[in-house]
Amino acid sequence: MVVKRLRWQLAGALLLLMSFPVAVAHYLDLAQFTLVQQNVEDEGLWFRFDANLPVNLDAELPVIWPEGCSVLERDERLESTNAVTVSFDVTCDETSSGLIRTRWGRDGGMLELHLLDGSVASTMLSGGRVGAEFSLPDWTAAAAQEPDGFLLTAWRYLMLGTEHVLIGLDHLAFVLCLAMMARGTGLLWLISAFTLGHSISLALAYLGVVNVPIVPVEAIIALSVVFMAREALLAHRADNNPQAVQRSAETSFRWRIGITTGFGLIHGLGFASVLGGLGVSAADTVVALLFFNVGVEIGQLMFVMTVLLLLLLMRKVHLDQKMIRASAFAAGGLGLFWTIERVMGI
C-alpha cells in the first residue's frame, strides 16, 4: 500500500512540472520607461514620458498620474516589428508628488531619467501585480545619482535570465523533452547543443545583427515543443525495443543534435526579445548579454537536475518509463495548444 502510494506521489511530482496554468507559457511582461526633463519657462514640472513596449502588450492601457499632473498630448508609434512606443507630454505642479502607475511591466523593466544637462540616470524596476510604478522624479537628486556598480548590474541580469527560464513553460517543456531523450553524456551533448544555438541567436538578435518579428518566432517555439516531444517518444520506444526498431538517420542521435541546435537558435530569438525589451544602456550591453545568458543556463540546469532526480526516484519504484511516455504526451499536447493559439494571433 505504501509503495503504491509512493508511486502515485512520484508520478504526480513529475506531472506537476507540466501542470502549471497554460498562461505561464509567455515572455516576461517587461517595459522600458523614459522620463525626459523639458526646458520650459512656464511654472511647474514639464517632462515627456515614453513607454517602450513589446508589441504583444496593450498600448491603450491607461496610466495613472499623481495629483496635480495632466497630459498635454499622447502619441503612439511603431518602433519596429517587435516594439511600440507610447509617449506623453506631461506637466505637473511644482508641489506634485506621488507615484506614476502603469499597467505595463508587471515583471519589471528599466527606468531612465534624461536630465537637461544631458546626463542619464537609470534604475531597474521590480514590477508588480498590476504593472510597474515609480515615484515622480526628483530631478535634482537624480542629477547626483551614481550609476549602479558592475556586481549589482551583473546580478540583476543573471536573476532576470534565470527567472525567464523558470516561468517560461514553453522553454521548460522543450528542455524536459531533451531530458527524456538521453542520459549521461548523451544528455550533456543535447543540452550543450541547445545552449550553443540559443547563445548565438541571442547575441545576434540583441546586437541588432538579426531582426525578426517575435510573434511568429513564438509560434515556432511552441511547434518545437511538439517536434521534440515526438523525438522523445521515438527515443523511448527505441530504448525499450532495440531489436524491433532500427534507428534511421532521421531518428539518430546525430540528427537530434542537429535539430536541437536549430531549435536553440529559434529559442534564442525569444530570449533576445526579453533582454531587448529592457532597453539596456550602451554601457551595460556586454554585461547584460553575458549574465542574462548565464542566468538562462542556471535556470535550465536547475530544471534538468530536478527532472533527473524525480526520474531517479521513479526508477526505484519501476515507474520511470511510464512517466517518460506520459510526460512526452503532455508536453506535446501543450505544445500543440500553444502553436494553435500563437498562429491564430499572428
**How confident is the model over 144-184, as pLDDT tens digits?**
566 667 788 888 889 888 988 888 889 999 999 999 888 88
Do 220 and 329 sit in the same domain of this protein? yes
The three grid cell numbers given for residue 251, joined into one nine-digit string: 531518428
Do 120 and 266 sit in the same domain of this protein? no
Neighbouring residues of 246: CB distance < 8 A, sequence distance ≥ 6: none
249 pLDDT higher than 50: no
Average pLDDT over the chain reads: 81
319 domain residue, yes or no: yes
135 pLDDT higher than 50: yes
Do 160 and 239 sit in the same domain of this protein? yes
Q: How many CB atoms lie within 10 A of CB 263?
A: 23
The three grid cell numbers given for residue 26, joined into one nine-digit string: 509567455
Amino acid at 124: M
What average pLDDT score do residues 76-98 get? 83
Task: Write down the pLDDT at residue 110.
Answer: 83
The model's confidence at residue 191, banded by pLDDT at 50, 70 and 90, is: very high
Neighbouring residues of 162: CB distance < 8 A, sequence distance ≥ 6: 295, 296, 298, 299, 302
The three grid cell numbers given for residue 109, joined into one nine-digit string: 523593466
CB 178 within 8 A of CB 189: no
68 domain residue, yes or no: yes
Say how many CA atoms lie within 13 Å of 263 toward its Cβ: 29
What average pLDDT score do residues 72-92 get? 85
Q: Select from 10, 56, 51, 54 the least CA-distant residue to 32.
A: 51
**How confident is the model over 267-325, as pLDDT tens digits?**
999 998 888 777 676 678 889 899 999 999 999 999 999 988 988 887 777 666 788 88
Task: Write down the pLDDT at residue 148.
Answer: 67
Among 136, 171, 194, residue at a domain's last position? 136
Angle (deg, nearest 10), helices 150-167 and 285-316: 40
Burial of residue 16 (CB within 10 Å: 0-12, 13-18, 19+) is exposed
Percent of the chain with pLDDT over 90: 31
Give the whole-angstrom CA distance, residue 261 versus residue 244. Answer: 29
Give the whole-angstrom CA distance, residue 56 versus residue 113. Answer: 25
Q: Select from 170, 168, 177, 157 the least CA-distant residue to 259.
A: 177
Domain count, the chain: 2
Q: What is the CATH number of the domain that holds 112?
A: 2.60.40
Please give the residue that has the higher pLDDT: either 167 or 13: 167
Do 310 and 166 sit in the same domain of this protein? yes
The three grid cell numbers given for residue 2, joined into one nine-digit string: 505504501
Of the candidate ranges 103-112, 138-147, 186-195, 212-221, the one whose mean pLDDT is the lowest: 138-147
Task: Write down the pLDDT at residue 6.
Answer: 45
Do 94 and 127 sit in the same domain of this protein? yes
The model's confidence at residue 88, banded by pLDDT at 50, 70 and 90, is: very high
Q: Which residues pair with 101 in a beta bridge?
A: 64, 133
**Per mean pLDDT, which of 14-23, 141-150, 188-197, 337-346 is the most reliable?**
188-197
Do 157 and 288 sit in the same domain of this protein? yes
The model's confidence at residue 239, banded by pLDDT at 50, 70 and 90, is: low
Range of the domain at 71: 31-136
Cα dihedral value 30, 161, 341, 229, nearest 10: 180
Do 243 and 332 sit in the same domain of this protein? yes
What average pLDDT score do residues 70-89 get? 85
Please give the residue that has the higher pLDDT: either 139 or 326: 326
The model's confidence at residue 211, banded by pLDDT at 50, 70 and 90, is: confident
Q: Which residues pair with 235 in a beta bridge?
A: none
Do 110 and 234 sit in the same domain of this protein? no
Task: Write down the pLDDT at residue 297.
Answer: 94
314 domain residue, yes or no: yes
Q: 151 — alpha (psi -120 to 50), left (phi > 0) or beta?
A: alpha
Give the whole-angstrom CA distance, residue 314 versus residue 308. Answer: 10
Please give the residue that has the higher pLDDT: either 3 or 124: 124
Percent of the chain with pLDDT over 70: 81
Cα dihedral value 107, 301, 219, 338, nearest 10: -80
